[in-house]
């Protein structure tokens, strides 16, 4: 199955919104994409401030969805119950 880059980027954002901060390996596994495609999508999403790169307590690099990333998911109608709960305090 061939997916467009936008679909892959939104799938990455959706996984991060559902599961919280994840390592690149866990994102690749969840979205079922190659490392090179993951890298280009993470770069694109980070440049648009839809995700952010963090260092977790173990010193590992993880990625997390941002507020603008959650709004983008809603815009593309990929809203999740967990996002709605967090966006309405």
The reply to whether 10 falls in a domain is: yes
Mean pLDDT of the chain: 84
43: confidence class by pLDDT, cuts 50, 70, 90:
very high
- Domain range for 57: 5-81
- Nearest-angstrom CA–CA distance, 80 and 17: 8
Give me the sign of the Cα torsion angle 56, 37, 51, 67. Answer: negative
pLDDT digits (tens, 9 = 90+) for 4-38: 888 899 899 999 999 999 999 999 999 999 999 99
**Distance of alpha carbon 87 from the chain centroid:** 16
- Residue pair 35/83 in contact (Cβ under 8 Å)? The answer is no
**Domain count across the chain:** 1
**In contact, 14 and 7? CB cutoff 8 Å:** no
Asked, for residue 88, whether it belongs to a domain, the answer is no
CATH number at residue 9: 1.10.10.10
- Residue 87 falls within a domain, yes or no? no
Q: Model's pTM, two decimal places?
A: 0.79
pLDDT at 78: 57
Q: First CA to last CA across the chain, in angstroms?
A: 39
């Amino acid at each position: 199955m061939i997916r467009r880059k936008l679909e892959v980027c939104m799938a990455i954002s959706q996984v991060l919104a559902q599961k919280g901060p994840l390592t690149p390996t866990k994102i690749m596994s969840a979205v079922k994409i190659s490392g090179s495609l993951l890298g280009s999508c993470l770069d694109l999403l980070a440049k648009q401030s839809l995700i952010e790169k963090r260092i977790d307590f173990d010193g590992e690099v993880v990625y997390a969805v941002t507020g603008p990333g959650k709004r983008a998911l809603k815009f593309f109608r990929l809203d999740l119950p967990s996002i709605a709960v967090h966006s309405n305090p």
